[in-house]
Amino acid sequence: MRILLTSSAILLALPTLALAQEAVELEPVLVTGQSRGYVAVNSVTATKTDTPLLNVPQSINVITRAQLDDQALHSLGEVLHYVPGTTVGQGEGNRDQVTLRGQNTTADFFLDGVRDDTQYFRGLYNVERVEVLKGPYALIFGRGGGGGILNRVQKTPSAGGAFASGRVSANSLGAWDVSADVNAPIRDAAALRINAVYENLDNHRDFFEGQRYAVNPYVALELSSGWRAGLSYEYVNDDRVVDRGVPSLGGKPLTGYRDQFFGVPGVNRTTLEAHIAKLRIDGTLASNVEVSTTILYGDYDKVYTNAFAGGPASSQTGTVPLSAYTDPTRRQNLLLQSNLVWDVTAAGMSHKFLFGLEYGDQDSANQRRNGVLSSSTLNLTNPVFPTVTFPALSRNTVSNVESVSAYVQDQISLGEHVQIVAGLRYDRFDITGVDLQPNPDRPFARADDKVSPRLGLIFKPRAEVSIYASYSQSFLPRSGDQFLTLSTTQQNLEPEAFTNHEIGAKWDVRPNLNVTAALFRLDRTNATTPDPSNPTVSINVGETRTEGLELAVTGKVRPNWQISGGYAWLDARLQGNDSVRLAQTPRQQFSLWNRYDVSRRLGFGLGIIHQAGQYAAIRTTAATTRLPAFTRVDAAVFYRVNDAVDLQLNVENLLDATYFPDAHNNNNISTGAPLNARLTLSTRF
């Protein structure tokens, strides 16, 4: 611990010895990676070094700012609908949740490569791109990440010149938003960038409403020669209705009630207030040695209160049982990460060594009170909403997680055609806490020491083609995604383990067009999953396996035609019992987005999403709810009024399909929005 903190303090102190005296052009504090339209060329996330994606031996999908804007995407959920191999979870209407290669998570989210695991909805207003990394990544990210991780890359300041942009948009369902992005150089060696957004939330569902606003000032400055620093602060305020969708009937989503609210108006509400500060310092110790240190502090105050369908409907016009609870959570995260990258050539081989240290201290306090409803059912023929009170605590816990990690990685080039990526990571995960609900209090604790390997072999028959094979591992402690508590039984169980074998190929057809393919097998041992009959309780299921194929194509087919498309085939099951299928993992997914510019001023967009049927919960019996397959078509029109003003019209669900995109369990199933349009006005200066 002391070694970690001391080394980080040294890295922080070195660049502050003197400010640069001569004018320099300020580079972004974080190397976000190069992009060409929809195509991302490189990433610092997958290896923690600035590496071409062609040389990363694992699947990565990158959604650039250009694509986010063209598709008018406002949430991670909207983004992931166009990323095959991932499925969006409902998140009980209060958080981001995703399933990657059959592994469900509420915590495998990162900001500029640093853990961002609190449960909330993340915005895109201050994001340069979204990276979806597939397969276990414990070497780079530590615990969790069994099926992959999602990383948001933040917009950074630049001293290259002042600029400003603004966007106003509104859709036909009543939602609207306004955002601004302003960059201002400060003298010659510093810059300030401010992103801000206000969103009025609305959709097709009865009683849904809300608002979110956020602001993110980010200042960057050039320090003594070769050193840069950046300080970012983000404030987020989110207040919205909690909507957990419709129940099931006969193992299928209840139809005919697309807009019906199965909660209690005025009670179903989630609020979040978050303060997120991030300091990063990058520098050069020698011509071939670079270091970086990032410190992230987050303070999150969240409450969600909800009533919801607690079981299936009795009939098409009968009744639906209701349940309710309220759940406040406080979380403080202090996360520190230091990396040193050393480039060296020896014995005819070039090496890029990565040495890293991480420290985390995370405090959580959580309560839950079950609701008492004046009526335990909702009549579908004559829906009268009950009243609800929350009299007694059912859970009251405080916990602290302290984690210490050290890792080393070597990217080896054996001539022009062969590369190796190899590394090991050591993690110490220590959780302590107290369950305050029993009488007397019940303390709990567990410490885990894990070593996670990663090995990748890359063969490049040509400079623009790579063929790779990789092996990686990850683990998840028994306290789960959110480490709120440990039962007496869980305290004695080993962490869940994830092992990924993958072979694939990547081809940069042109600098602005690439295709990728991957075959993988992901095994999970000591696996647990929410009990379909009681989702608040986890059950042990043994070993699971997900096998799959992923294909992707991104870039410019012609100078005026850009595409982003992909296909995934997944087979996710319990080892030794093929009749048990993993939740929210459809067999097939396909998506394709096109933008075609007729002229410099006029362009058109067309997108299609197809998703095969999927189980809402782990399929253990024939009664498990199955969401039907669906196909959705989207479209857009782009018009450049002049060099400073753009108009675009995005139409979602052009053919007005009825579909159920995601779920939380057998009886909380989201309904897809009908045909709706969003008009956006963008300006830049």
The pLDDT tens digits for 618-638 are: 988 888 999 999 999 999 999
- Distance, in Å, from the CA atom of 325 to the CA atom of 411, rounded to the nearest integer, reads 50
Of the listed ranges 129-133, 240-244, 575-579, the one predicted with least confidence: 575-579
How high is the pLDDT of residue 645?
Answer: 97
- Report d(CA 674, CA 253) in Å as an integer: 17
Identify the CATH number of the domain in which residue 187 sits. 2.40.170.20
- At 537 the pLDDT is 55
DSSP 9: H
DSSP one-letter code for 646: E
- In tens, the pLDDT along 36-87 reads 789 998 888 888 998 999 999 999 999 999 999 999 999 999 999 999 899 9
Q: Which residue has the tokens 């406040």?
A: 328
Alpha-carbon torsion (496, 612, 547, 518), positive or negative: negative
Instruction: Compute the C-alpha angle 339/341/345, nearest 5°.
Output: 160
pLDDT band of residue 22 (cuts 50, 70, 90) is very low
Task: Measure the CA–CA gap between 1 and 12, rounded to whole angstroms.
Answer: 17
Per residue in 332-353, pLDDT (tens digit) is 999 999 999 999 998 889 999 9
Round to whole Å and give the CA distance between 236 and 301. Answer: 10
Bridge partners of residue 269, in order along the sequence: 305
522 vs 128: CA distance, rounded Å = 30
Number of neighbouring beta carbons within 10 Å of residue 237 = 14
Q: What is the mean pLDDT of residues 570-584?
A: 90
Query: 577-581 and 86-88: which strand pairing?
Result: unpaired
Residue 137 dihedral angles phi and psi, to the nearest 5° = -130, 40
- 17-21, 128-132, 348-352, 670-674: lowest mean pLDDT where? 17-21
pLDDT interval class at 152 (50, 70, 90): very high
pLDDT at 28 over 90: no
Strand stretches in 289-417, DSSP E? 289-309, 319-346, 349-373, 377-379, 388-414
- Domain of residue 34 covers 2-684
Give 604's strand partners.
596, 637
| 8 A C-beta contact, residue 633 and residue 662 | no
The answer to whether the beta carbons of residues 468 and 500 sit under 8 Å apart is no
Average pLDDT, whole number, for the chain? 91
Q: pLDDT digits over 202-213, tens only?
A: 999 999 999 999
Judged by average pLDDT, the poorest of 9-18, 518-527, 533-542 is 9-18
The answer, yes or no, to whether residue 150 has pLDDT greater than 80, is yes
Q: How many helices (H) and strands (E) does the chain have?
A: 4, 42
Peptide linkage before 440 cis (omega within 30 of 0): yes
Q: Closest Cα partner for 101 from 625, 504, 583, 556?
A: 583
Q: How far apart are CA 633 and CA 656, in angstroms?
A: 9
Q: State residue 478's pLDDT score.
A: 80
Amino acid present at 270: T
Distance CA 202, CA 200 (A): 7
Distance, in Å, from the CA atom of 172 to the CA atom of 167, rounded to the nearest integer, reads: 17
CA dihedral of 180, 186, 190, 196, whole degrees rounded to 10: -10
Q: Cα separation of 95 and 111, whole Å?
A: 16
Q: Which residues contact 21 (CB under 8 A, 6 or more apart)?
A: none
Q: How many domains does the chain have?
A: 1
> How large is the average pLDDT for residues 168-192?
95
Rounded average pLDDT over 249-275: 96
Other CB atoms within a 10 A radius of the CB of residue 455 amount to 16
pLDDT of 17 reads 30
For the chain, the residue count is: 685
Q: What percent of the chain has pLDDT over 90?
A: 80
Assigned token pair, 586: 């459809």
